[in-house]
Amino acid sequence: MRLTGKVALITGGGTGIGEATAKIFAAEGAQVAITGRRKDVLEGVAKAIVANGGKVLVVAGSVTDEAHVQSAVDQTVRTFGKIDILINNAAIGVFGTPLHEMTDQAWQDILDTNLTGVFRITRAVIPHMLERGGSIVNVSSVAGLVGIPGLAAYSGTKGALVALTRCLAIDYAKEKIRCNCVCPALVDTPMAADAIADPDMNAMMMAKHPIGRFGTPDDVARMLLYLASDDASWVTGSLFTIDGGWTAQ
């Protein structure tokens, strides 16, 4: 198993990419801590992990709350003794709103979760990685690489994650803390459910994917597994598109 003896903290671990990642990491031998806003959803994921013989900790809350962030990190270290892997997956989307129609509050909400939330939890985790090293993986999006109509706020935060990843990789390379970034295209998750259900939007988005299908949470989780594992011990500051060929066009 590729993560035997590792401890992973995964934000947004209740659904979609976070859920798939938590289950795959646990199956690969990691002890997993999952965070998210809905405790009942997290507990459902935890139940499945335990039923499969895995070890998991649930810490409900939002990455926009500094007290929750500190509690999640502290509880993970108390329960499992360390943190080797951080997956920054928690995110929200504001889709289809032109920038000139966006309110200050909507802008701030998406910034607080998608970017400042990553800052908060990464800042809290790094001190626990300084002595032994670790792997941080930020979940960005193709929206951080190419222009997509109506996604200005979301795209802005996801593009910022790309830059943040590179800076973290350079700043902490000597401490053997690796930081990489994945950029999925449209993945069949609850966040994308409305777009997938809309026939016009579905057709428009499908045309962007030469491979002929949308992604699955497992598609992304498998890349996260590679980057979190020692198989990627010489990989840092890198950007990985998982997009069915979107950005190859």
The model's pTM is 0.97
- Tell me which of 3.40.50.920, 3.40.50.720, 3.40.630.30, 3.90.1150.10 is the CATH number of domain 7-242: 3.40.50.720
Domain boundaries, the chain: 7-242
DSSP states of the chain as a string?
A: -TTTT-EEEETTTTSHHHHHHHHHHHHTT-EEEEEES-HHHHHHHHHHHHHTT-EEEEEE--TT-HHHHHHHHHHHHHHHS---EEEE-------S--GGG--HHHHHHHHIIIIIHHHHHHHHHHHHHTTT-EEEEEE--GGGTS--TT-HHHHHHHHHHHHHHHHHHHHTGGGTEEEEEEEE--B-SGGGHHHHHSHHHHHHHHTT-TTSS-B-HHHHHHHHHHHHSGGGTT--S-EEEESTTGGG-
Q: Which of 154, 214, 240, 246 is catalytic?
A: 154
- Per the annotation, the verdict on 226 as an active-site residue is no
Residue 95 has pLDDT above 90, yes or no: no
Q: What is the pLDDT of residues 178-223, one digit of tens each?
A: 999 999 999 999 888 888 888 888 888 899 999 999 999 999 999 9
pLDDT for position 64: 98
Q: What is the pLDDT of residues 116-173, one digit of tens each?
A: 999 999 999 999 999 999 999 999 999 999 998 889 999 999 999 999 999 999 999 9
